[in-house]
Structure 1
Amino acid sequence: MNAFTLPSPAKLNLCLHIVGRRPDGYHELQTLFQFLDYGDEITFVPASDGRPGIHLAASIPGVNDQDNLILRAARLLAGNQAAELPGVTLDVAKRLPMGGGLGGGSSNAATVLLGLNHYWQLGRSIDQLAELGLQLGADVPVFVRGHAAWGEGVGEQLTPANPPQDWFLVLKPACDINTGKIFSEQGLTRNTPRIKIAPAFEGDASRYRNDCEDVVRKLYPEVNQSLEWLSQFGPARLTGTGACIFGRFPTESAARIIWESKPSGITGFVAQGVNVSPLHTKLTELT
């Protein structure tokens, strides 16, 4: 098989409600996931000599190889067959900011699970791959399944959803957020009433929010300032625990006009929300 490249898309949490806390300390969530047509890319390069082995073309700055979800996903999928499977080098083109709440690491893991399932011709089902993905992180299954979804539990209980495929301006303030710190804050809302699944922003949009946002605003002034600026042009929200924020726009041109006027020192991008993951679209073309 020749080398092939697969997308590893970003996600947004269009809302994130914390509805309780489990005995094991994890938080019970309700969230609406939607993909973006923007993200990282992973190229799968078969070993020229056919020897086994899983390698990274280059380490990702700031991430130990032992902690890298890309390698962990590959080794988890290979299991005890690793010595028998053809070798591969994984070349990652990173575009998504780390720790931004866009799911970059989880998306990378899902792309590896699906890409190596294809390369090694393992024939694992989506359900099997999603179960493996859950061992790597609560957000991995939604990327494996590849459809926008209403998530419950710790985010792994998924019901397909079809929110409007609008355009988004996504901004990354100049700070890094510690997710553990946010979820351990005493002031975090943990008792939001449960709501039934519904398409995002139909009816009363005020019902949809991010329960982490108030805490993040207090602890990270850069996020607060960025949200205040973006809110001039319409509702703006945090995704995940941040640091990225987003605003929704009806057209690409409307989003790009605001992008051109963003404050200095803030990075970001414009992308369209999509309900079918670009990863699954590309895999269909390969098969």
Structure 2
Amino acid sequence: MTRRHSNPVPGTLRLPAPAKLNRLLHITGRRDDGYHELQTLFQLLDLSDAVSLTPRSDGRLVLESALAGVAADDNLALRAARLLQRRAPAGCGASIKVDKRLPLGGGLGGGSSNAATVLVGLNALWQLGLSLDELATLGLGLGADVPVFVRGRSAWAEGVGDRLTPVRLETSWFVVIHPGVSVSTAGVFGDPQLTRHTPPINMARALQGGASTWRNDCEAVVRDRHPPVASALDYLARYAPAGLTGTGACVFAAFPHAPDARRIAQAAGEYGTAWVAKGCNHSPLHDALGG
């Protein structure tokens, strides 16, 4: 179910920053600038961080929550606020607090989602009136995953993940496991064993194939480099087709019924931290703002 986020302080927006899964991830080539061409299916979840935004009239942007190992200037939530502030009247400021639930570097898009929630939330709070297209363009400068969270729809994506077509996916219940390891995205994409030339397919063919045919081209490399990820995938595969999201470290499997998902998550303790989340096609962020 979608979690409700109350607004405890007058003028404060407390908004969800939802997670995503890459239901499939194909690497179809490498561009001259070094980035990889991708095809992926983004599935939004009701599992989320919470972002609190309190307006200030002194023009200051204050980050009230630090992330271990992440300098304030590298925090995507603060960077998003600074980027949007350039479009705001003088004096527009905010205090920003992120209550983290999503693991850093887990492949769930937490940092990108935090940035998108700040862009969408401050646009509303400061009454800037920017469109989702404008906000998504701003967000792309922060990271390729930011636009899908700004637009707030599960989507088929191409390019570096930025060319988006909304889709409706089955809103299954997901068991998501974080095996407790850190996966280097650069390390995965730099591995000589990575599959980089999967033949492109069109969206209709991908959707017609369904979850039983979907795969992540990064999985073989991540399995080899990180045995705990392989163990978590093998555990979930006993019950349903299991997949890696992004470059990991999180893995997932879909189930039609919540009780089954909860039972499998509760028994997953030796494989890492497990959550049960509901898939959704419309972002909880936009639901919270009535959009």
- Please give the TM-score of this superposition, normalised by the length of structure 1: 0.94
For structure 2, the residue ranges without an aligned partner over 5 or more in a row are 1-9
Alignment partner of 2:266 out of 239, 260, 274: 260
Q: How does 1:204-283 map to 2 (within 5 A)?
A: 205-264=211-270, 266-283=272-289
**Does residue 3 of the first structure (1) align with residue 9 of the second (2)?**
no
Q: Indicate conservation of the 8 Å contact 1:138/1:154, yes or no.
A: yes
Shift of 1:56: 0.9
In percent, how many aligned pairs have the same letter?
53
Instruction: Return the alpha-carbon distance in structure 1 between the equivalents of residues 87 and 113 of structure 2.
Output: 24
Secondary structure of 2:39 counterpart: strand
Distance 1:277 1:80, change over 3 A: closer
Secondary structure of 2:86 counterpart: helix
Alignment partner of 1:168 out of 169, 174, 178: 174
Q: Indicate conservation of the 8 Å contact 2:176/2:274, yes or no.
A: yes
After superposition, the CA RMSD in angstroms is 1.5
**Does residue 155 of the first structure (1) align with residue 161 of the second (2)?**
yes
Secondary structure of 1:233 counterpart: coil
After superposition, the C-alpha distances for 1:141-165 in whole angstroms (9 at most, x for unaligned) are: 0000001100000000001111111
Instruction: Return the alpha-carbon distance in structure 1 between the equivalents of residues 55 and 146 of structure 2.
Output: 24
For structure 1, the residue ranges without an aligned partner over 5 or more in a row are none
Instruction: Return the alpha-carbon distance in structure 2 between the equivalents of residues 55 and 273 of structure 1.
Output: 33
**Does residue 92 of the first structure (1) align with residue 101 of the second (2)?**
no
Alignment partner of 1:182 out of 188, 194, 208: 188
Aligned to 1:70: 77
Shift of 1:88: 1.2
Aligned to 1:20: 29
After superposition, the C-alpha distances for 1:28-55 in whole angstroms (9 at most, x for unaligned) are: 00000011011100011223xx221111
Secondary structure of 2:277 counterpart: strand
After superposition, the C-alpha distances for 1:160-192 in whole angstroms (9 at most, x for unaligned) are: 111111110000002000000000011000111
Shift of 1:87: 2.4
Secondary structure of 2:79 counterpart: helix
Letter in 1 for 2:23: L
Shift of 1:264: 2.4
Instruction: Return the alpha-carbon distance in structure 1 between the equivalents of residues 88 and 240 of structure 2.
Output: 52
Aligned to 2:55: 46
Secondary structure of 1:116 counterpart: helix
Q: Indicate conservation of the 8 Å contact 1:4/1:43, yes or no.
A: yes
Shift of 1:265: 5.6
Letter in 2 for 1:19: T
- Please give the TM-score of this superposition, normalised by the length of structure 2: 0.93
Aligned to 2:66: 59
After superposition, the C-alpha distances for 1:195-237 in whole angstroms (9 at most, x for unaligned) are: 1103866446454200000000000011011111111111100
Instruction: Return the alpha-carbon distance in structure 2 between the equivalents of residues 53 and 278 of structure 1.
Output: 28
Secondary structure of 1:256 counterpart: helix
Letter in 1 for 2:199: P
Secondary structure of 2:270 counterpart: coil
Aligned length: 282
Instruction: Return the alpha-carbon distance in structure 2 between the equivalents of residues 35 and 80 of structure 1.
Output: 28
Q: Indicate conservation of the 8 Å contact 1:163/1:199, yes or no.
A: no
